[in-house]
Chain A
Amino acid sequence: MWAYFKFELSQFITNKKNIAIYAILLFLACFYAMKIAPSYEPIEKVDAKEIEARYLSREAFLSTFYNDPNRFVGMAGFGLAIYPEWNNLDKARLDALKDHDFVKYSEATSEWYVYANNITYGNERFFYSPGYYSHGNLYASEDGYYGYLYTASRYKGYAEGDYKLSLNVFEERTALQTLQRLLHSDLPMILMICCIFLTVDVVLKDRLNPTILRGFPISDWKKLIIKGIVSLIGSIGVILPLSVGLIIIGIRYGFGDFQLPVPIYTTLSKPSYFNKGEFVNTAMGNYLVDNVIFIVFCFMYLILLVLLVSMIIKNEFANLLAGAIFIFNESFFFQRGIGFFYEVENYPTNYVQVGQIVSGYRNYIYNSNALNFNHGLMIVGMSTSVLLVFIFIISKYKRYKLI
């Protein structure tokens, strides 16, 4: 067993294709760190000028209308009712920024976002930050709602925590936060695509030297398991080239802290003001560990899927196709809000956006409350076990011999 494992591992490492994958990832990681990360434009920036402009214009409004006899005509009264508090928060933020008191800034900002959201959501006269309203976005205010409360929760965490705060932390530019953002977008897919490419030929390559390999005194079942383990190790190994990019980002913008808050959207406690869920902070370390565990589960699922297809169809394109269907299936069927009508949480393919599952964002846009880490692990884990059983049964059949 051990010898076979070493044999497979050495084949895996010396495989030109695999080396190329690691090289490409290294290139992409560096490219991202040097070119893309610096040009990141967060929607919620730390912008004293913007705060000041808003503050001054509202102050002007307040001072004009404060004693105006017509102040209860039209919307002016509404303005008079909400602006004083809002402006207080803005003032607190401005002062904190001027004093470089990041803790105070965090406190005020957190409150500011909660307050702003309460007034903005569902209101036709107030708007979220412009970044949500890009041309063609049909769900700008929903995105704004999520974005505001996410930011509020984040700043609340900053105010409470004891780690070094900086503008980079506020704008989520540090290495760990960049990783978190990436996990929330395309990184899980990229990792899974790599996993498929790393696994795609792990069984079928043996067909090139059948006579040597067929005779190894190990059963097909054990061979498959070892091949799977090797692929899994290789797939987890993609962390190495990617971490180079993270180190570059870390050197430029700081590494961040494993205690940094990551807001998780959750609906488990009492419903909030707008009958939606609320955000609860978890530590960055926890968030990353959850992600890694989930991604490893997805890897296992994908690897077993590829192994199974390799045995049945014996064609590398079939492997790619099967993997691609798993990864891209959701995007064909996805519709915002359908979680309310369908049990979206029971399909393993709905869990490929790992970062969004862990952070609860998928629940938010599916309008569901069941797509969470634990349920996901159970679903993907069960599917994995089913695949494992299939592979076990098939490996006992003569008809589907490995080579």
Chain B
Amino acid sequence: MRKLLKTNFIIEKSSKKNVLTFLFVALFVFGLAIFMENKDVGNLVIQKTSEYQNLTSALSRFQEMDASQDGDSSDIYQNLNQQQRLVTLQRAAANLDRPEMFVNSAIELSNLRKVAFDLEGYEDVAVYLPTYTENQLESIFYENLRTLGIPIFKDNLTFYQFLIFLFGILGSIWFIFLAFYSCGLMIDDFRHTSIIKGYPIPFEQYVAAKGISTLSIILLVIVELVICSLPLIYFRGLGDSSYPVAVFDGDFEIYTITQYIGVCLLYMVCIAIFVILLSIILNMLLKNMYLTLFVQLFLFTLPMLLPKLISLFPFNPYNYMNFTSLLNGESLDLSNPVVLNSTHGLISILLSIVILVVVIRLFLSTGRLRRV
């Protein structure tokens, strides 16, 4: 095994593909930082202004009526009115830098919204409001901030805050990135069959070594992601690693940034193994790098194209490949809502990995390495 890894190291270290990959990842991280700076992501005043406008628009759908508690207006109208008042309060708090007031009104707001979901006429104004899941996540997030007494962060470009955002984006593109990176894994070898075929090494070991060396490059990529974010410490400060992140992992819960990143990393590694193994199999079957890529991407997008499939086969590993939307509980807001649990996701991916390994062991052998 060691000798194979050594061989792979010799081959990979001067491969253009890897150089390009590392270049791409660096560009991506820097581009993302610029993007966040440009978009002013996390500017609470702007957010609250837009929310205010939306609520006003929602209210305008009702005829103006007495909105006091004992007035004759409908419950949802009163509710929206109070929401608007709280949003105004939040905007003021953000402007005046009063984090405590901001958090308190945020909690009140989310409670109001919780009530609103059951009120008559909610459907008509649903588009103006956050979804149930979004509201739940916000609710526990602010509750937690209040309990811990941490002020709300306004700079999303501090190191740790940026990492959440970075890993959040990665969640949706990690699979795609891996599919691109690994789609030619064995195809490269098809061009060197007469060198490889005779190695005094069992094929499983060869595949394992291939997988391990690819995985280690991907781990390096993850390290690079962090390294490229390091300059932010200098420009914007470190941030707080114990800052809460609200997630859905079967229940609505609070993770610290460290925990959140930990879960993301776990997912990233598992998905990487999955994609690598599948690429190996598809390479052997299809003998074409692009076909492999297309099949991978097709499988990835299928649950998005046909969301019914998610509730039909909740254990399909592809439901979990976008771990950001998984941790945001997005499956709860589908027209056929499903509870996708992040632990189940890991189990599902790991099981699939086992199946793929068995398939490789049973059906593939060196003899399949033919010239293409």
Contact = CB atoms under 8 A, between A and B. Distances in A.
Interface of A: 16-17, 20-21, 24, 31, 35, 57, 124-128, 130-131, 133-138, 140-141, 197, 201, 208, 313-318, 320-321, 325, 331-335
5 contacts: A20-B291, A316-B289, A321-B24, A334-B38, A335-B39
B16 A317 contact: yes
The 10 A-B pairs of least Cβ separation, nearest first, read: A17-B290, A133-B57, A127-B57, A315-B16, A332-B31, A138-B50, A133-B54, A127-B60, A335-B38, A332-B35
A140 B60 CA distance: 15
Contact of B127 (A24, A128, A130, A315): A130
Interface residues of B, number: 39
Contact of B53 (A140, A314, A331): A140
B63 A57 contact: yes
Interface string B30-65: 011011001100000011011101101110110100
B291 A16 contact: yes
A348 B289 CA distance: 31
Contacts of A318: 16, 20
Contact of A20 (B17, B46, B61, B294): B294
B291 A133 contact: no
B299 to A, nearest CB: 13
B121 interface: no
Contacts of A331: 35
Contacts of A130: 57-58, 61, 127-128
A333 B39 CA distance: 9
Contact of B128 (A135, A141, A313): A135
B199 interface: no
A17 B288 contact: yes
Main secondary structure of the interface of A (DSSP, over half): helix
A131 B127 CA distance: 8
B231 interface: no
Given A16-B288, A320-B180, A135 B54 contact: yes
A316 B15 CA distance: 12
Contacts of A138: 46-47, 49-50
A135 B60 contact: no
A331 B169 CA distance: 14
B298 interface: yes
A173 B298 CA distance: 27
A325 B51 CA distance: 34
A136 B50 contact: yes
B57 A315 contact: no
Contacts of B57: 127-128, 130, 133, 140
A135 B34 contact: no
B21 interface: yes
A124 to B, nearest CB: 7
A318 B23 CA distance: 10
A128 B53 CA distance: 11
Contacts of A201: 290
